[in-house]
């Protein structure tokens, strides 16, 4: 049997199941037609008797064949419902019963002259739709032979005068046989076209479904928040980023009104929908869970169509802009530092040679040479600090357990600066996970510790630096580096992060500047706060959430 191919885009088993279901449905509907004409013929034979041309020649044969046909059709209803035996067996047997019993009914009603041969044409048409090419031709041939036998029956049984009547009816029988073959051919051709059309429609449906699924997957994985709602503010679709930004955790809230989830965003949407051009500008707002967001509105169609809202995290936007700026600045400063380092090295070597050849009794010359050497060393430190900025845009963020990382850092750092480990204490650092580049974090914390130790008294057993963990109002992890030294003069507190700003003669003024730039490159922030009671300083590093580490790594 030939049937529709499995649908592309579906598995082989799913495609076969779809084709099988369609075949059974076609067989069931055609059996309803078969049952209807069988019951109608049986009713005419039982309740009406002779009703030209039905059963006009052989009433008893017409009655018995109609009843048998009705019984077979009724039995087929249950067999098709239970699908036993298989489809091809049932279709083949029922097609055979159609040709056999309809030929007998036609014979009992006067042969082709009764007009009931048209039911054979319908039976062959149904066979061409349900069975393959070979079986369709076979049953068309069988029906033609059956009609020839029916037409020649009187002559075969030896009836008087049947020969002349038979010869006169052969042209009609021949044309009817041609009609049966034509019906089989065109029916099979139509069935093939229908299967091809249905296959194409299914393929297009699968393509559309796959494209819809792909679009949904892309939208769900977007870094920007996406919200689709109607002009009344009812949410139709919302992606994962928007769920996180707006603090939606329950399935029921996904279909809530925008006004219930974020009133600030709803107000901006309605202002944008209004005719007041002054109120249609985008404004930054803070979500209920602390994200600072910038919305962008797009209308999909006319004013009554759904509205598309993009939500951008301002922290990520600022970080992207900062990284672009610093990438260009890093390339510039690296090239400048490279150009300075070569003549600086020549000056240092010349000063050393000059010191070796000058008169040892000339104190003024010694002082000048010493000035050259010291300032050359200072310039070399500045060049080294500047080259560190070239690494600021190359980050490798990972999730860190802050307590274990800090313990390793303090062990290494205390050995490096020859300060006892007891000079450092940590509080509330446990269970804090951050997203940051470990190497750049080491440089930031070491710079802060270096500044704190420079302005703190010598270690006498009392801790000099304290690391205090916690979380800010937006639930982002943070750590405070606290010292009890001289602190920062309030008059210069706003300038301590400026490049080349320093309060010590030997300082470069780049330590805090580089530390802040490295923090911003990791999506973090570095801020200064006065110590409690005006004593000491507090530098706060606020990190990216550990769960947002994947987004930071894509920037």
pLDDT given for residue 345 in this prediction: 78
Q: Is the predicted pLDDT of residue 5 greater than 60, yes or no?
A: no
Higher pLDDT, 464 or 372: 464
pLDDT given for residue 114 in this prediction: 85
User: Is-contact 307 269, C-beta < 8 A?
Assistant: yes
The Cα–Cα gap between 76 and 84 comes to 10
**What digits encode the pLDDT tens for the residues 421-474?**
889 999 888 888 888 888 888 888 988 998 888 888 888 888 899 999 998 888
The Cα–Cα gap between 6 and 12 comes to 6
| Domains annotated on the chain, with CATH | 12-210 (no CATH), 225-313 (3.30.450.20), 395-555 (3.30.565.10)
Confidence class for position 389, pLDDT limits 50, 70, 90: low
The distance from CA 460 to its chain's CA centroid, rounded to whole angstroms, is 60
pLDDT given for residue 291 in this prediction: 85
The residue-averaged pLDDT of 374-400 equals 70
Task: For strands 525-530 and 465-471, give the pairing.
Answer: unpaired
User: Is-contact 402 477, C-beta < 8 A?
Assistant: yes
Cross-sheet strand order for the sheet of 544-545: 398-401, 433-436, 544-545
The Cα–Cα gap between 430 and 24 comes to 67
pLDDT given for residue 414 in this prediction: 87
The Cα–Cα gap between 343 and 345 comes to 5
Q: Is the predicted pLDDT of residue 554 greater than 70, yes or no?
A: no
**What digits encode the pLDDT tens for the residues 461-475?**
888 999 999 988 888
Q: Is the predicted pLDDT of residue 515 greater than 60, yes or no?
A: yes
**What digits encode the pLDDT tens for the residues 172-226?**
888 988 989 899 899 888 888 887 887 788 788 888 888 878 877 877 778 788 8
């Amino acid at each position: 049997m030939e049937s529709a191919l499995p649908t592309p885009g579906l598995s082989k088993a799913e495609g076969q199941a779809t084709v099988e279901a369609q075949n059974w449905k076609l067989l069931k509907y055609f059996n309803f037609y078969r049952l209807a004409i069988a019951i109608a013929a049986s009713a005419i034979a039982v309740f009406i008797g002779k009703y030209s041309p039905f059963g006009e020649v052989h009433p008893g044969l017409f009655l018995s064949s109609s009843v048998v046909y009705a019984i077979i059709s009724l039995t087929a209803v249950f067999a098709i419902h239970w699908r036993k035996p298989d489809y091809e067996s049932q279709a083949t047997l029922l097609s055979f019963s159609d040709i056999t019993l309809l030929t007998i009914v036609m014979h009992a009603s006067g042969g082709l002259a009764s007009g009931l041969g048209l039911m054979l044409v319908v039976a062959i048409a149904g066979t061409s739709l349900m069975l393959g090419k070979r079986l369709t031709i076979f049953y068309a041939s069988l029906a033609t032979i059956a009609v020839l036998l029916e037409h020649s029956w009187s002559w075969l049984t030896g009836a008087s005068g049947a020969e002349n009547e038979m010869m006169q009816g052969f042209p009609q029988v021949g044309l009817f046989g041609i009609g049966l073959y034509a019906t089989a051919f065109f029916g099979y051709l139509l069935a093939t076209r229908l299967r091809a059309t249905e296959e194409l429609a299914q393929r297009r449906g699968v393509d559309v479904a796959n494209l819809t699924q792909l679009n949904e997957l892309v939208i769900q994985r977007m870094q920007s928040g996406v919200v689709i709602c109607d002009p009344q503010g009812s949410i139709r679709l919302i992606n994962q980023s928007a769920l996180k930004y707006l603090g939606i955790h329950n399935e029921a809230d996904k279909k809530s009104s925008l006004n219930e989830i974020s009133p600030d965003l709803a107000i901006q949407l309605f202002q944008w929908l209004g005719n007041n051009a002054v109120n249609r500008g985008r404004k930054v707002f803070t979500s209920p869970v602390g994200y600072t967001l910038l919305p962008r509105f797009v209308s999909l169609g006319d004013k009554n169509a759904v509205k598309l809202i993009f939500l951008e995290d301002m922290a990520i936007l600022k970080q992207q802009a900062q990284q672009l700026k610093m990438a260009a600045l890093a390339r510039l400063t690296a090239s400048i530092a490279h150009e300075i380092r070569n003549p600086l090295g020549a000056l240092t070597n010349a000063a050393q040679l000059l010191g070796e050849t000058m008169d040892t009794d000339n104190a003024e010359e010694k002082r000048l040479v010493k000035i050259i050497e010291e300032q050359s060393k200072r310039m070399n430190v500045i060049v080294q600090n500047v080259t560190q900025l070239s690494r600021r845009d190359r980050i490798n963020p990972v999730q860190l357990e802050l307590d274990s990382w800090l313990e390793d850092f303090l062990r290494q750092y205390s050995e490096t600066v020859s300060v006892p480990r007891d000079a450092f204490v940590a509080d509330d650092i446990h269970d804090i996970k951050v997203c940051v580049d470990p190497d750049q974090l080491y440089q930031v914390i070491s710079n802060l510790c270096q500044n704190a130790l420079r302005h703190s008294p010598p270690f006498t057993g009392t801790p000099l630096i304290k690391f205090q963990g916690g979380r800010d109002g937006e639930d982002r992890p943070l750590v405070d580096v606290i010292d009890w030294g001289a602190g920062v003069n309030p008059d210069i507190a706003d300038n301590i992060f400026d490049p080349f700003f320093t309060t010590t003669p030997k300082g470069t003024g780049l330590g805090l500047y580089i530390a802040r730039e490295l923090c911003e490159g990791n999506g973090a922030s570095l801020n200064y706060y006065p110590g409690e009671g005006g004593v000491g300083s507090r530098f706060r590093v606020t990190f990216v959430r550990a769960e947002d580490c994947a987004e930071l790594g894509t920037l």
